[in-house]
Amino acid sequence: MRLDGIHHISCITGDAPGNLEFYTGVLGLRLVAKTVNQDDPYVYHLFYADESGSPGADLTFFEYPGALQGRAGAGMVYRITFRVRSYDALGFWERRLADHAIATTRHEDRVRFDDPEGLGLELVAVQSPDAPLVAWHPEIPAEVALCGFDAVRAYGGRVASTGRLLEEVMGATSPTEYRWELTGSARHGTIAYDAPPTLPGRAGAGTVHHIAWATEPADHERWLERLHRGGVSSTPIIDRYYFRSIYFREPSGVLFELATKGPGFTVDLPLERLGRELVLPPMLASRRVEIEARLTPLRDPRADW
C-alpha cells in the first residue's frame, strides 16, 4: 500500500473572481469543478486542475469573501511547487508573469512568485517519470504548461515526530534531511519542512488549508486501520463526492488528508462541461436556488474560447 503523491492541495481565497482569473487566465489551469464547501454551503469550493481533473494537479480554494490576508506560520504549508518540463518553460513563465505584473525571482531550476493574495508558488524544471498533467490554454503552449504538483514546503515545529509518522505510517522515504517523498504507482510527491518564522501563523486568504495524498480506492479502509494502528487519530472516512477522504493533523500541525483517486469530477458532468456550472452534492441539491443567490457570481473562464 503506497500513497501516490499529492492528490490535491486546498487553500483559502477572499476573492473568488480574482482567484479564478489568476489560476485559469494567467497560470492556465482548468476550472474543473465549481461547487460549495460541504460543511458551509454558502462558501465556494473551486477546483483547478489539468484538462481531465486528475489527482496530482488539483489545486482547490475555499472562498470566504473579503477574508483578510493570512500568514503562514508553524504547522502550515507556505509554498506549492508545480513541475514544468524545461528551462525554456521557466523563461516563458518569467515573461508571462511579468506581463501580468507578477514579480518573480529565479533560483537556478526554479521560478518563485506569489499569487495575488500572497500564496507562495514555485515552478521547477524537472524531467519527471510522472505523466505531465496539462490543461489547455490558448496562450500557453502545452510544452511549457504546468504539469502537476511536485512538492510543498511547510514550516515545522515537531519535525522529528512528523518524520516518524511520514516514514513509519505513511511509507515515505527521506532522501535528504527534513524532506520526505511519497511515491506510488503513478506519481511522486514531496513535502519538506523548514524552521518556522517567529510570528505565529494566521489562517486567511492566501494560506493553505490542507494537503491531500492520493490513495487507491480499494486501499482506503486499510489506510484508516493503518493510521489507527500507528496511533494517529483521524476522522472516519468522509464521502466528498468526487473522492473519499480521511483527515488527520501531523505532529507539526499540517492538516493531512488521504483522498481516493476516484471517482473524480466526471461523476456528475461529462468532461467537456467540467467547471461550467455550479455542481451541488446530492444532499444540497434541493437548496440550489437559495445557495446560488448567496454566492459571488463567477464568469465561465472558457465562455468566449
What part of residues 249-278 is at the interface with Zn ion (CB under 5 A)?
A: 257
Least distance in Å: CB of 36 to Zn ion? 14
CB of 60 to Zn ion, least distance (A): 7
Name which of 10 and 35 has its Cβ closer to Zn ion. 10
* Joined grid coordinates for residue 230: 500507528
Per CB under 5 A, 35 contacts Zn ion: no
Beta strands in the chain (DSSP E): 6-13, 30-37, 40-49, 58-63, 77-84, 105-107, 110-114, 120-125, 149-155, 173-176, 179-183, 188-194, 208-215, 238-239, 244-249, 255-260
Q: Least distance from C-beta 102 to Zn ion, angstroms?
A: 26
* Helix/strand/coil (H/E/C) assignment for every residue in 66-116: CCCECECCCCCEEEEEEEECCHHHHHHHHHHHHHCCCCCEEECCEEEEECC
Residue nearer to Zn ion on the CB measure, 104 or 245: 245
Minimum separation from the CB atom of position 9 to Zn ion (A): 8
Binding mask 161-200 for Zn ion (x = CB under 5 A): ----------------------------------------
| Residue number with CB closer to Zn ion (63 or 257) | 257
Tell me: does residue 212 bind Zn ion (CB under 5 A): yes
Q: How many residues bind Zn ion (CB under 5 A)?
A: 3
What cell was used for 211?
Answer: 494537503
Q: Of these, 3, 5, 9, 10, which contacts Zn ion (CB under 5 A)?
A: 10
| Footprint (CB under 5 A) of Zn ion, residues 71-90 | none
Question: Which residue number, 45 or 79, has a Cβ lying nearer to Zn ion?
Answer: 45
Q: Cα–Cα distance between 275 and 16 in angstroms, integer?
A: 14
Beta bridge partners, 77, equal 154
CB-nearer residue toward Zn ion: 45 or 85: 45
212 or 246: CB nearest Zn ion: 212
* 124 near Zn ion, rule: CB under 5 A: no
Q: How far is the CB of 143 from Zn ion (least distance, A)?
A: 30
Instruction: Tell me which H or E stretch contains 16.
Output: helix 16-20
Quote the DSSP letter at residue 267: G
Contact call for residues 283 and 259 (beta carbons, < 8 A): no
Pairwise CA distance, residues 113 & 86, whole Å: 18
Q: Which is nearer to Zn ion, 193 or 242 (CB)?
A: 242
Residue 91 CB, shortest distance to Zn ion, in Å, is 33
| Cα–Cα distance measured from residue 184 to residue 4, given in angstroms and rounded to the nearest whole number | 4
Identify which of residues 19 and 104 has a Cβ nearer to Zn ion in the complex.
19
Q: Which stretch binds Zn ion (CB under 5 A): 138-146, 207-215, 263-271, 288-296?
A: 207-215
The minimum distance between CB 55 and Zn ion, in angstroms, equals 11
Task: Please name every residue paired with 183 in a beta bridge, in sequence order, or none if there are none.
Answer: 188
| Alpha carbons 187 and 6: distance in angstroms, whole number | 8
Residue among 262, 268, 261, 298 at smallest CA distance from 282: 268
| Interacting residues with Zn ion (CB under 5 A) | 10, 212, 257
